[in-house]
């Protein structure tokens, strides 16, 4: 039972980490867009 709970908790935490990393990637893309505008 505890193993199942830990597995679900790990999936949720992993999803949150992936989501935050994806947001960071979007920010980098926005910086690239600004760069293209400057060029």
Q: What's the confidence (pLDDT) of residue 11?
A: 92
Q: Write out the two tokens for 26.
A: 């979007």
Give tens-digit pLDDT for 1-37. Answer: 899 999 999 999 998 888 887 766 555 555 555 666 6
- If DSSP codes are grouped into helix, strand and coil, which group holds residue 39? coil
CA 31 vs CA 12, 16, 24, 39: distances in Å: 29, 23, 11, 12
Amino acid 38: pLDDT: 57
Residue 18's pLDDT is 82
Q: What pLDDT was estimated at residue 17?
A: 86
């Amino acid at each position: 039972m505890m193993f199942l709970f830990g597995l679900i908790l790990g999936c949720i935490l992993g999803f949150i980490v992936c989501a935050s990393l994806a947001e960071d990637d979007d920010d980098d893309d926005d910086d690239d867009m600004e760069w293209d505008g400057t060029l």
